[in-house]
Structure 1
Amino acid sequence: MKSKALFYLAIFFALSACSVTKSVRSQRNLISGTWSLENIKYENNTGTFNAVLFNDATAVCFEGSDWFFRDNNSTGRYTIKSGSLCDGGDRFIRWSVVERPENYKSQLQFKFIDEKFKDLDSGLGYRLEISSLTEGEMILRSNVSVDGSPITIVYEFVKK
Structure 2
Amino acid sequence: MVKQFFFVALTGIFLASCSVSKSARGQRDLFSGTWSLDNISYENNSGNFKSVIFNDAEDICFEGSEWFFRDNNSTGRYTIAQSTLCNGGDRFFRWSVVEPSQNYSSQLQFKFIDENRNDISGGYGYRLNIVSLTEQAMTLKSNVSVDGQPVTIVYEFSKK
What is the deviation of 1:20? 1.1
Q: Which runs of 5+ in 2 are unaligned?
A: none
Paired residues in the alignment total 160
Q: In 1, distance between residues paired with 2:30 and 2:85?
A: 32
Q: Counterpart of 1:123 in 2: which secondary structure?
A: coil
Checking the alignment, whether the CA contact within 8 Å between 2:104 and 2:129 is kept in structure 1 is no
- TM-score, normalised to structure 1, is 0.94
Deviation of residue 3 (structure 1)? 4.9
2:93–2:111 Cα contact (<8 Å) kept: yes
Shift of 1:121: 1.4
Alignment of 1:105-120 (within 5 A): 105-120=105-120
- Asked whether the 8 Å contact 2:39–2:157 carries over to 1, the reply is yes
Are 1:90 and 2:95 matched, yes or no? no
Letter in structure 2 aligned against 1:141: K
CA–CA distance in structure 1, aligned partners of residues 7 and 118 of structure 2? 32
**Counterparts of 2:73 and 2:126, CA distance in 1:** 18
**How large is the Cα RMSD of the aligned pairs?**
1.4
Work out whether 1:29 is the aligned partner of 2:61: no
Of 118-127 and 103-112, more deviation after overlay is shown by 103-112
Partner deviation per Cα, 1:96-119 (whole Å, 9 max, x = no partner)? 111112584100100001111111
After TM superposition, the structure 1 = structure 2 runs for residues 1-160 of structure 1, keeping only pairs within 5 Å, are 3-101=3-101, 104-160=104-160
Percent sequence identity over aligned pairs = 65
Q: CA deviation at 1:6?
A: 4.5
Structure 1 unaligned blocks of 5 or more: none
| Whole-angstrom CA distance in 2 between matches of 1:116 and 1:13 | 33
Contact 2:143 2:150 in 1 (8 A): yes
- For 2:42, give the aligned amino acid: Y
Letter aligned with residue 99 of structure 1:
E
Task: Give the whole-Å Cα distance in 1 for the aligned partners of 2:51 and 2:86.
Answer: 13
Distance in 2, Cα, partners of 1:81 & 1:51: 17
Structure-1 separation of matches of 2:148 and 2:121: 26
The SS at the match of 1:92 is strand
- Matched residue type, 1:76: G
- SS state of the match for residue 122, structure 2? helix
Q: Specify the code of the residue in structure 2 equivalent to 1:123.
A: G
